[in-house]
A and B are shown apart, each in its own frame.
Chain A
């Protein structure tokens, strides 16, 4: 079985500061990894994903995440955050060939002016 741990429930940060949202997973088989974002009063949407190939994946709005197999991590980073990045971020894992996705508990990013 797979599991996902998001180590921080809330991350407050000032605008233009860097941020890292941590995600660790557990699995005995290879996995697909995802970050989803939920803006206030909106549904979840996919931010970025790792399926195979390059371990560094990027989103269109400046976020990136690196798959680290040895540390079983998929941390999300952004070098300079904006007020508009305030949202809840969910890390998720699924198994190739399977359809069940396990979500972490979420990290609430709060960007302050």
Chain B
């Protein structure tokens, strides 16, 4: 089926504005992840969702960041009162997330949303 999709692909916003980033995971994938990749740096874990369990929010850098997921479908990452240091590529990934499948920890990534905060 289709891969992970993210929208928008690019977002330019002014400092202090709120932004909402969207991720559509692969159908049937119960686990969904958000990462941040700053220019020239590695992936920084933000949050993950697994089915109906409470999300692991341990990577969110501040209370300006929040994410939601409805069931096992679309997820939105919201950044309130954006700051220039929020400028980065935000990557979403999904995986099977069910034990028993031999590759259930393999993640499939979307193309990312490039956020620029002026």
Stretch of B14-22, B63-71, B73-81, B100-108 with 4 or more beta carbons under 8 angstroms from chain A: B100-108
Is there a chain A Cβ closer than 8 Å to B25's Cβ?
Answer: no
Instruction: Report which of A43, A94, A104 forms a contact with B109, defined as CB distance below 8 A.
Output: A43
Determine which of A43, A45, A90 lies in contact with B42 in the assembled complex, contact meaning CB atoms within 8 Å.
Answer: A90
Given A32-B105, A90-B43, A106-B42, are A43 and B112 also a contact pair (CB < 8 Å)? yes
Across the two chains, which residue of chain B brings its CB closest to A106? Answer: B42
Contact (Cβ within 8 A) B45 A100: yes
For residues 6 through 43 of chain A, which have their beta carbon under 8 Å from a beta carbon of chain B? 6, 32, 34, 36, 42-43
User: Interface readout for B48-89 with A: 1 if CB under 8 Å, 0 if not?
Assistant: 101000001000000000000000000000000000000000
Question: Is the CB of A97 closer than 8 A to any CB of chain B?
Answer: yes
CB–CB A99/B103 < 8 A: no
Which residues of chain A are within 8 angstroms of B43 by Cβ–Cβ distance? 44, 90, 103, 106
Known: A94-B105, A97-B99. A44 touches B91 (CB 8 A): yes
What separation, in Å, do the CA atoms of A97 and B97 have in the docked complex? 9
B31 in contact (CB, < 8 A): yes
Q: Identify the closest chain B residue to A46 (Cβ).
A: B106
Query: Taking CB as reference atom, which chain B residue is nearest A42?
Result: B111
With both chains docked as a complex, state the minimum distance between the C-beta of A91 and any C-beta of chain B, in angstroms: 10
What are 7 contact pairs spanning A and B, CB under 8 A? A43-B91, A43-B109, A44-B43, A46-B107, A46-B108, A94-B105, A106-B42
For the complex with contacts A44-B109, A98-B105, A103-B35, 20 further pairs of A-B residues with Cβ separation under 8 Å are: A6-B42, A34-B105, A34-B106, A36-B109, A43-B109, A43-B111, A44-B91, A49-B106, A96-B105, A99-B31, A99-B48, A99-B50, A99-B105, A100-B56, A101-B45, A101-B105, A101-B107, A103-B42, A103-B45, A105-B41
| CB-CB nearest 10 A-B residue pairs | A105-B42, A103-B43, A44-B109, A94-B105, A43-B111, A43-B109, A106-B42, A99-B31, A32-B105, A99-B50
